[in-house]
Amino acid sequence: MAEPKNTELMEKIVSLCKRRGFVFQSSEIYGGINGFWDYGPLGAELKRNVKEAWWRDIVQNREDVEGLDATIIMHPTVWKASGHVDTFTDPMVDCKTCKARFRADQMCDTPCPKKPSKKATECEGEKTEPRAFNLMFTTHVGPVKDDANVAYLRPETAQAIFVQFKNVFETSRQKPPFGIAQIGKAFRNEVTPRNFTFRSREFEQMEIEFFIKPDEAIRAISGAVSAPASGEPREDWGWEAWHKYWFESRVAWYESIGLNRDSLHIRWQEQDELAHYARATVDIEFDFPFGQQELEGIAARSDYDLSQHQKVSGKSQTIFDDELRQALSKLDEGQRAELVDSYKAARLKYLLSSGVEQELAEKSAEADGAGFLKGNYVPHVIEPSAGVDRLILALICTAYDEEKVVDEKGKEEVRTVMRFHPRIAPIKVGVFPLLKNKPELVAKAREVKKLLQDHMPVFYDEAGAIGRRYRRQDEAGTPFCLTIDFDTIGENGEETADTVTLRHRDSMKQERVRISDLVGMLLPQVR
């Protein structure tokens, strides 16, 4: 991408992440390991909040999405069926002079490790021809290390959802349209990990497979497929409407946790970027300091994935839809034949593109058409696939702010403040006794902390001047701070007893609030 890069800002962000305990290099005391990152105390809370917000909004608050928590290592044939063993590769080139290894399609952006001031393409060394490099990490299951025991660390969470589709379908009493969602680790042996946590070798994904009826079934049941429109889901939505629904919902969700709409971009993948089975893919891109880059991809993947697992495992992935069977039986002969033919043609196209030879493919498609007539089909899927770590980075970049303020003594200083949305802020409230050597203040502050900590993460701090304590919480992104002072403990009369000073992070405004009102006031803002 050709956007201007803000390297200075990125350096400040990386430095704050380390200084305040958001993100550390993995195994740092041993020099680190490229492409692996750990989340420190604040980062771990931030990440939990983001994942919990996603899970609550996608799984718990919806009636049409079920959750899944599958293993990282699966049967190796899963990755054969999905295409990852054969095609999950990046083109890699080696520099014959400096021996550095690059992704051929990213060389223009990658510095030469031997001469960091130069881009890889400018390094004088002759390059090898690009070679396909498979990004999956391998391991061996059991004590014997041979080819028969090879297994893979999953490069995406999605395949487990497809492999467990039938189990979830049969146990959850859902029927399409419905989704299965999963959050979990994924591993990719990226050729050139870079841009801090943006491209890592171990990362987390939040993925949804949203299973829908094929358009032929919608046409049979509702008469026609409606044009994509915004708003609440409808019975007559086909794949295009569901695809639009999901990328719009995902953008709205990003806004709800604090990303600015202006920094998010919808990019339709070009025809030549699309996987052969994908009907359309939209990337939601974010303005990172190093350029506009992908945060999440929303792909309309047809019935490819379940069909592949059906073909390779030999286990049927079709479902029976009585509404479809009945709808088809009520149509006239011509309409019915047209829909069955259209379904058969789509199945034939898939079978041929997946390597089945013509005669067998035609026979299978015929059988699929006959099955469709009885109400059976392989569900189609819309896949919103997001990276947790890229989102954390986007949230950190959005939150980071510096502003000039004047302290109590009239001195100008720069305040670094992380303006996280209260919903995802690692710590919600800082609680400070005005003085640490005044036992009544300390006891009261402890009491306030205890009152709040059952409802939200609270940080107790009694060290240093109040202004310094506020600044520390500003850098942590804590939206609210409470100071317990002499008013609180009733030294200035009944009226102000049991009230505290509530200080707002963003405006730095302060107000007096009754302790008994705190939970009711803060909770709706931080949930």
* Per-residue contact string for residues 171-190; x = within reach of ligand ATP by CB under 6 A: -----------------x-x
Nearest to ligand ATP of 390, 449 (CB atom): 390
Nearest to ligand ATP of 394, 489 (CB atom): 394
Q: Which span sits near ligand ATP by CB under 6 A: 37-45, 62-70, 200-208, 496-504?
A: 200-208
φ and ψ at residue 418, rounded to 5 degrees:
-95, 110
Q: Kindly give the residue spans of alpha helices, DSSP state H, lying in 233-380.
A: 239-256, 304-313, 322-330, 333-353, 358-373
Residue type, 412: E
* Per-residue contact string for residues 131-170; x = within reach of ligand ATP by CB under 6 A: -------------------------x--------------
Minimum Å gap between C-beta 413 and ligand ATP is 36
Question: Which own/partner contact pairs does 3-8 have at CB distance under 8 Å and 24+ positions apart?
Answer: 3/287, 3/291, 3/292, 5/289, 5/290, 5/291, 6/289, 6/290, 7/289, 7/290
Nearest to ligand ATP of 178, 196 (CB atom): 196
Q: Which of 344, 390, 421, 469 binds ligand ATP (CB under 6 A)?
A: 390
SS3 143: coil
Nearest to ligand ATP of 277, 377 (CB atom): 277
Minimum Å gap between C-beta 117 and ligand ATP is 26
Residue 259: exposure state from Cβ atoms within 10 A (0-12, 13-18, ≥19)? buried
**Cβ-contact 213, 233 below 8 angstroms:** no
Q: Which of 136, 251, 386, 392 binds ligand ATP (CB under 6 A)?
A: 386
Work out whether 433 is an interface residue with ligand ATP (CB under 6 A).
no
- The DSSP-derived string for 323-342 is HHHHHHHHS-HHHHHHHHHH
For the beta carbon of residue 297, count every other beta carbon within 10 angstroms.
21
SS3 100: coil
Which position's Cβ is nearest ligand ATP?
387
Q: Which span sits near ligand ATP by CB under 6 A: 218-226, 252-260, 384-392, 511-519?
A: 384-392
Q: Which of 159, 205, 302, 310 binds ligand ATP (CB under 6 A)?
A: 205
Alpha-carbon gap, residue 417 to 475, rounded angstroms:
5
Which tokens belong to 360? Answer: 């067998």
453 membership: H or E segment, kind and range: helix 439-453
- The DSSP-derived string for 376-445 is EEPPEEEEEEEEHHHHHHHHHHHHEEEEEEE-TTS-EEEEEEE---TTT-S--EEEEES-TT-HHHHHHH
> What one-character DSSP code corresponds to residue 194?
B
**Cβ-contact 176, 213 below 8 angstroms:** yes
Minimum Å gap between C-beta 208 and ligand ATP is 11
Q: Which of 285, 389, 461, 487 binds ligand ATP (CB under 6 A)?
A: 389
Nearest to ligand ATP of 80, 374 (CB atom): 80
Q: Which of 47, 51, 154, 199 binds ligand ATP (CB under 6 A)?
A: 199
Q: CA quadruple 391, 392, 395, 397: dihedral positive or negative? A: negative
Q: Which span sits near ligand ATP by CB under 6 A: 65-73, 198-206, 262-270, 432-440?
A: 198-206
Nearest to ligand ATP of 284, 502 (CB atom): 284
Residues 283-312 that bind ligand ATP (CB under 6 A): 294-297
Work out whether 385 is an interface residue with ligand ATP (CB under 6 A).
yes
Q: Which span sits near ligand ATP by CB under 6 A: 5-13, 98-106, 111-119, 379-387?
A: 379-387
Q: Which residues fall within 8 angstroms of residue 105, CB to CB, at 6 or more apart? A: 90, 91
Work out whether 430 is an interface residue with ligand ATP (CB under 6 A).
no
Which tokens belong to 135? Answer: 């990004």
Nearest to ligand ATP of 371, 387 (CB atom): 387
Minimum Å gap between C-beta 200 and ligand ATP is 4
Q: Which of 49, 157, 182, 200 binds ligand ATP (CB under 6 A)?
A: 200
Number of residues that bind ligand ATP (CB under 6 A): 16
Nearest to ligand ATP of 390, 428 (CB atom): 390
Nearest to ligand ATP of 395, 417 (CB atom): 395
Q: Which span sits near ligand ATP by CB under 6 A: 23-31, 254-262, 387-395, 477-485?
A: 387-395
| Beta-sheet pairing, 65-68 with 178-187 | parallel
Alpha-carbon gap, residue 348 to 463, rounded angstroms:
71
Burial 225-243 (b: 16+ CB within 10 A, else e): beeeeeeeeeeebbbbbbb
By CB under 6 A, name the binding residues for ligand ATP.
156, 188, 190, 199-200, 203, 205, 294-297, 385-387, 389-390
